[in-house]
Amino acid sequence: MPSTDRTDRDGTYLVDMEELDFFLWEQFPENEALLAAGPHSGWDRDRFARVLTQAQAFARKLGDAYQDSDREGCTLDAQGNVRLPSAYPALWEEFRKNWVVGKPVEGEPAGADDPVRPILPPLLAQVVYEMFMGANPSFMTYGGFSRPASKIIHRSGTPEQKAAFFPKLHAQEWDACFCSSEAQAGSDVTALHTVGTPIEGGGDLYSIVGEKRFISAGMHQLTDNTLYFVLGRVDSATPGSFSLSCFIVPKYLMRADGSRVSNHVECLRLEDKMGLNGCANTQLRFGHAGPTHGHLLGNRKNVGLLQLMPLMADARMTTGLFALGMASSAYHHSLRYARSRIQGRPFHSAANALADRVSIIEHLDVQRMLLEMKSKVEGCRGLLGKMSLQLSRQLAMRKGPAPDDKALDRAQRLILFYVPIVKAYVSDQAWRICELGIQVHGGVGYTKDTPVEQYARDVKVLSIWEGTNYIQSQDLLREKLSFGRDSRTIRYFREDVEAFLDTVDVPDLADECARLREALAASVEALDVLGGIVKSGRMERVSQYSTRLLEMLAETSLGWVLLEAAVAAKRALARRPAGDPKAAFYLGKVDSARFFIHNILPAVHTRLQIMRNHEHSLVAMSSERFGYLAPETLPAQEAALCEEI
């Protein structure tokens, strides 16, 4: 079993292995049953424990480089070469050797039908990569797109593309990088200008011309080659999202003798960012210094977004995992500091000059902050766990003798339902958790002596990555829930929560169960309210409420998983003798659930009331009503007057 040490206190990255053990085997006992059959039947708890021990050791190495890599950053030389933090090459070799996610399970070669099966079952993979991404998120951006890219090539590539690219990508001898954003086209991909022109007699080969901006891990020397998956248009395409194509653009073209030649992919600049300074965020140019050749994915035009759709879901899930990993370590740093920092007297003894000063964890307001951090970290981990379990069920059913199409559809719908919630809510709350971590540390937290300020800087971009969180809420409301018209997905979610509540046999959690039922009903009603607005022909109104609907469903989900953990903890306590040393850990699970349900979950009802009152709560204003107008937006005479003043 994993180490019984509550927290790894060595190095920058802190992780509670007892918490992860509880998550895997007590909060989600179905995980063990899913290992008994199906694609992961070779796994057992002892094997899991060995992997977690190895993962913890590698996470410690990643954490040791976290702050130094931030300070060292990335640099671009005059020849266009990018230098990464000095610790990264050795870390990459170890990561590639031991943790390549496309590597087959030991003793069980990957089958031809699923050659990119993950090395780990989904729930264990979640825990392992939470550690790695929390320990050094900048480093983990390198190669992070490789497995999704290999799946896309396997699914959509031509036989020639599979033969040329898949083996190298699968083994991470090469890596992959997604290139979508341009200076004028961020979230709105319909504004892309990059163009691919067919090369006469070249088959799937196109000449690529354009620039891409904000490309994470876009240029480096960790691998022998990089495959850029470039979103653009065939030169005859008209504007619109249904005329976008995906091109596979190698950084180097490979000759028959194994040598390589430049494909004229240039790095023009590195962004000077708020955080993730060890990640080279690049502006790339294609086809300027010489011809850049790219292969049209699948040799199919105008279907790029459809081909890349699975990639987007993977990327959004991964974003949530980055956020959870950093938030969890920030919480543990704050907890450790609060226990050690002696400051002030208890509130009721503040006027007593003879009263002993106490550690700040004894102050109830500090406990309030720590409880919010603790409950949200554990709740977000449980939210990701729900999605991982659905993935495990789906894998098990697909490998079974007679897949149940209805059950498969149910699992797939719930996975897609959780994706935007995980991406948006976890990234938003990770920022809140890191901000609270700085507050717990006081002035020390605002300095670079402790890593919490870096966690805050590094975590903020996640609410912007892979589609802003408003876009996630649009996707949830429109695509996953069909504005309430298709009730199946929300019905499946409601059935899962209610099935749990119907089995709770812990009397002193009855009030918390009632509060969760009320929040679930409020969330379902909110979808009905927004559906009614759409039916009335005023669809534009719901855009101001979609983010709040996502938050309602997320917080209801967190209330559910935290209450599940509390019930599991209560049952564990009932089996243990009085005075058991692990009692405090289990009681902490109950406290987390109670705090969240009575302090955070009530906001669900406030949001519902705002939606019910949409005739008054919706405020749409013209740009001028917001106030200050920059001189360039004013008429010429007004601008001149501003300059005089």
Name which residue leads in pLDDT, 144 or 560.
Answer: 560
Determine the average pLDDT of the residues in 395-418.
88
Name which residue leads in pLDDT, 111 or 70.
Answer: 70
Q: What is the pLDDT of residue 400?
A: 74
Q: Rounded to an integer, what distance in angstroms lies between the CA atom of residue 506 and that of residue 568?
A: 10
CATH number of 174-302: 2.40.110.20
**Angle (nearest 5°) at CA 195 between 192 and 199:** 165
Q: What is the pLDDT of residue 627?
A: 86
Give residue 108's pLDDT band: very low, low, confident or very high (50, 70, 90): very low
Q: Rounded to an integer, what distance in angstroms lies between the CA atom of residue 628 and that of residue 645?
A: 15
Give residue 347's pLDDT band: very low, low, confident or very high (50, 70, 90): confident
531-540 tens-digit pLDDT: 999 999 998 8
Residues 6+ apart with CB under 8 A from 596: 375, 376, 379, 558, 559, 562
Both tokens assigned to 576: 């243990």
Give the lowest-confidence range in 236-245, 385-394, 398-407, 466-475: 236-245
Determine the average pLDDT of the residues in 299-321.
90
What pTM, to 2 d.p., does this model score?
A: 0.91
pLDDT value at 470 more than 60: yes
Determine the average pLDDT of the residues in 465-491.
90
Determine the average pLDDT of the residues in 121-125.
89
Determine the average pLDDT of the residues in 359-382.
96
Residue for token pair 């395409």: 237
Give residue 40's pLDDT band: very low, low, confident or very high (50, 70, 90): confident
Mean per-residue pLDDT of the chain: 89
pLDDT value at 240 more than 70: no
pLDDT value at 113 more than 70: no
Q: 3-state DSSP call for residue 498?
A: helix
Q: So where are the chain's domains?
A: 17-140, 174-302, 479-577+584-615
pLDDT value at 306 more than 60: yes
